[in-house]
Amino acid sequence: MIRFSHVTKSFGSRAVLQNLDLEIHKGELTFIIGKSGEGKSVTIKHMMGLLQPDSGQVYVEGVDVAKLGPNELLQVRRKFGILFQQAALFDSMTVEENIQFPLREQTNFTPSQIEHRVEEVLRQVDMPHSNRKYPDALSTGEKKRVGLARALAAKPQILLYDEPTTGMDPLISEMIDALIVQVNQEEKEITSIVISHDLKAALATADRIIMLYQGRVELAGPPSVFRNADSPVVRQFFSGKVDGPMEFL
């Protein structure tokens, strides 16, 4: 679905991506993990053509994103739905208006199709009957659910979550992780990419994990590959982030 080939990217003298090669497989739930500042957000911005590589190629469904003009780029961006860390709902709009927004901007849906789709995605995230509420009236977890409903509304092929649980309390984090898995299972065709430094959630839920380190992929594979990894970088990440011996994961 997505492939990076020898991608480098620097900001000034800071080399962030250094000959990065990676693959995201269609229909899978992939976690991209790594320390803060390791280039995770920069990586997903390249996928959407929000940043251009200094060298190398970024392919989305075989198309080199860096070579596209503005209109073609817009088509690529419409493949993506994004859930930001802070849900990023418009406070002055109701739940329903928030979800209608991408549908009006990105689809040719009729008003009744829009209405139907809003109901559908609100049911999917277990938030029916909240159409007329304002974000202020929602709990943190509920805001996340609505943010996810909005990200799903225009039927994206790729769902991006950038640090969806960072700063959330453990119960809400677990709820969000479960919701991510649920959506990935319900939408058979959807490709989910979760940017995270939550190794535990990655091990518990991912189909594949990609670990970034110093601008490259340190290790990629299913959770089992990470549990049995010899790489000191991976072991160190484990020991810093996960309590107790790895056998219990």
Ligand X SMILES: Nc1ncnc2c1ncn2[C@@H]1O[C@H](COP(=O)(O)OP(=O)(O)O)[C@@H](O)[C@H]1O
Q: Which residues bind ligand X (CB under 6 A)?
A: 11, 14, 16, 34, 36-42
20 CA to centre of own chain: 19
Tell me which of ligand X, Mg ion, none is bound by residue 38, counting a contact when its beta carbon lies within the kind-specific cut-off of 5 to 8 angstroms: ligand X
CB of 133 to ligand X, least distance (A): 31
Binding piece for Mg ion, criterion CB under 5 A, among 36-44, 201-209, 218-226, 235-243: 36-44
CB of 137 to Mg ion, least distance (A): 29
Handedness of CA 147, 152, 154, 158 (dihedral sign): positive
CB of 119 to Mg ion, least distance (A): 33
Tell me which of Mg ion, ligand X, none is bound by residue 11, counting a contact when its beta carbon lies within the kind-specific cut-off of 5 to 8 angstroms: ligand X
Question: How far apart (Å, rounded) are the C-alpha atoms in residues 164 and 156?
Answer: 18
Q: How many CB atoms neighbour CB 103 within 10 A?
A: 21
Task: Write the single-letter amino acid at 79.
Answer: K
Q: What are the distances in angstroms from CA 146 to CA 96, 154, 195, 244?
A: 9, 14, 19, 35
Among residues 41, 100, 130, 165, the one that binds Mg ion under rule CB under 5 A: 41
Question: How far apart (Å, rounded) are the C-alpha atoms in residues 238 and 227?
Answer: 9
State which residue, 94 or 173, has the beta carbon closest to Mg ion: 173
Question: How far apart (Å, rounded) are the C-alpha atoms in residues 3 and 20?
Answer: 10
State which residue, 41 or 173, has the beta carbon closest to Mg ion: 41
State which residue, 16 or 154, has the beta carbon closest to Mg ion: 16
Residues 204/212, Cβ–Cβ less than 8 Å = no
CB of 237 to ligand X, least distance (A): 13
**Residue tagged 């002055």 (tokens):** 92
CB of 166 to Mg ion, least distance (A): 9
Tell me which of Mg ion, ligand X, none is bound by residue 90, counting a contact when its beta carbon lies within the kind-specific cut-off of 5 to 8 angstroms: none
Enumerate binding residues for Mg ion (CB under 5 A).
Answer: 40-41
